[in-house]
């Protein structure tokens, strides 16, 4: 991609998410994006790995053009492919097939940086008949501080424009009851972190991974005993936790070590 935008944080986030020990993604799985202007989103190109990402692995897409395709119920993957052809002709690479999902997260949920991954721990639950525990009441206070009181769970949907449309519809319903989510779980697929920054997108993914590990261990012992709604609300609104949340959101990403 052209050097028109500073993608240091986005590249750093991508490489960190791709570190093999985290088990968030392998091969060319997952994708990241960053809103760079009112109408432009920089998103990972298809087939590129997060682990070895550089600024050359990202393309610029037009938010409005893609959002219009999500709006148009008659538009399908073929219409998206036509736009992607244009991008490929101009920039030499095609956007990830999940670019529309990123567009919805940015335009309909206010994210500035989006990270979509397939963590093993999260997918273990998302591929089970207990996936709903991920979107239930929180199980420990740090989960509330980072992710909030409710994440959104979307049942498996065909990736691409259909998934983007489904997520957008469910975002509206979720926002009415709980406010906008910071994490979206996709049944039999993976998760999306909706960050206000690259640092926050990483924290959300790390916390979702931890929550999944704890839930899986808990389910092997017996039933999940979540926090009460009252306790979760208390953590969500306490002043000292707000201070901690603000401090966390300001954390910038460390440069990942080169391997």
Residues that bind Zn ion (CB under 5 A): 190
Pairing relation of β-strands 152-154 and 40-44? Answer: unpaired
CB of 78 to Zn ion, least distance (A): 21
Residue 158 CB, nearest approach to Zn ion (Å): 12
State the nearest-atom distance from the C-beta of 96 to Zn ion, in Å. 9
Closest CA to 209 of 148, 119, 125, 135: 119
What is the rounded CA–CA span in Å between residue 27 and residue 22? 13
Q: Cβ closer to Zn ion: 163 or 253?
A: 163
Q: Which is nearer to Zn ion, 190 or 195 (CB)?
A: 190
Tell me how far, at minimum, the Cβ of 98 lies from Zn ion, in Å.
6
Quote the tokens at residue 128: 């089970």
Task: Report the residue closest to Zn ion, judged by CB.
Answer: 190
Q: Which is nearer to Zn ion, 190 or 199 (CB)?
A: 190
Q: How far is the CB of 118 from Zn ion (least distance, A)?
A: 6
Based on CB atoms, which residue is closest to Zn ion, 148 or 190? 190
Asked if 66 contacts 39 with a C-beta cutoff of 8 angstroms, the reply is no
Nearer Cβ to Zn ion, position 83 or 185?
A: 185
Instruction: Summarize the chain as % helix, strand, coil (round to 5).
Output: 50, 15, 35
Tokens representing 236 are 């969500």
Q: What are the DSSP E strand ranges found in 19-129?
A: 31-37, 40-44, 58-62, 113-117
Rounded least distance, CB 189 to Zn ion, Å: 6
Starting at the edge strand that comes first in sequence, how are the strands of the sheet with 113-117 ordered?
58-62, 40-44, 31-37, 113-117, 190-195, 183-186, 152-154
- Tell me whether residue 113 or residue 138 sits nearer to Zn ion (CB atom): 113
């Amino acid at each position: 991609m052209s050097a028109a935008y500073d993608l240091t944080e986005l590249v750093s986030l991508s490489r960190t998410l791709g570190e093999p020990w985290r088990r968030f993604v392998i091969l060319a799985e997952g994708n990241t994006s960053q809103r760079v202007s009112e109408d432009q989103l920089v998103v990972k190109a298809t087939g590129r790995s997060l682990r070895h990402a550089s600024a050359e692995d990202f393309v610029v897409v037009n938010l409005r053009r893609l959002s219009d395709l999500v709006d148009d119920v008659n538009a399908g993957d073929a219409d998206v492919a036509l736009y992607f052809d244009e991008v490929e002709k101009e920039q030499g690479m095609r956007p990830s097939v999940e670019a529309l999902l990123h567009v919805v997260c940015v335009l309909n949920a206010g994210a500035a940086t989006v990270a979509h991954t397939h963590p093993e721990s999260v997918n273990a639950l998302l591929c089970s008949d207990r996936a709903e525990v991920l979107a239930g009441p929180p199980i420990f206070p740090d989960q509330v501080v980072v992710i909030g009181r409710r994440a959104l769970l979307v049942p498996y949907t065909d990736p691409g424009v259909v998934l983007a449309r489904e997520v957008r519809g469910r975002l509206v319903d979720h926002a009415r009851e709980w406010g906008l989510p910071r994490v979206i779980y996709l049944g039999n697929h993976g998760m999306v972190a909706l960050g206000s920054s690259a640092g926050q997108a990483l924290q959300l993914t790390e916390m979702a991974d931890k929550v999944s590990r704890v839930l899986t261990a808990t389910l092997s012992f017996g039933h999940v005993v979540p926090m009460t709604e009252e306790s979760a609300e208390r953590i969500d609104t306490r002043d000292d936790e707000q201070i901690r949340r603000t401090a966390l959101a300001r954390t910038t990403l460390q440069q990942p070590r080169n391997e």
